[in-house]
Amino acid sequence: MTRKLTYPCVGTCSKQIEIELEGDVIRSVEFAGGCHGNTQGIAALVQGMRAEEAVARLKGIDCRGRGTSCPDQLARALESMQADR
């Protein structure tokens, strides 16, 4: 089953994240805004990864003392998708 989510980011330069999961595997991630090279890198690294593994690796990463970051926002989005199953 394929699921999609548009997640509004809070506290980061990225404005939103588009995520597509196939079961529990990340098929695609696309950030709107933020540091383009970094967000492309994050998206490429998590593609094909299980959502729970990505959450474990990315949750809690901080950017400049903001209490969150683009990777952390992705982890939060994935958690919300797991909770909505």
The dihedral formed by the CA atoms of 68, 71, 75 and 77, expressed in degrees to the nearest 10: 90
Q: What is the pLDDT of residue 46?
A: 98
Long-range contacts for 3-8 (Cβ within 8 Å, ≥24 apart)? 3/81, 5/77, 5/80, 5/81, 7/73, 7/76, 7/77, 7/80
Q: What is the pLDDT of residue 28?
A: 98
Counting the structural domains of the chain, the total is: 1
Q: What is the pLDDT of residue 85?
A: 72
Handedness of CA 6, 9, 14, 15 (dihedral sign): positive
Domain span at 18: 2-83
Structure pTM?
0.96
Query: How many CB atoms sit inside 10 A of residue 84's CB?
Result: 8
CATH assignment of the domain containing 73:
3.30.390
Tens place of pLDDT for every residue, the chain, 85 residues? 999 999 999 999 999 999 999 999 999 999 999 999 999 999 999 999 999 999 999 999 999 999 999 999 999 999 999 988 7
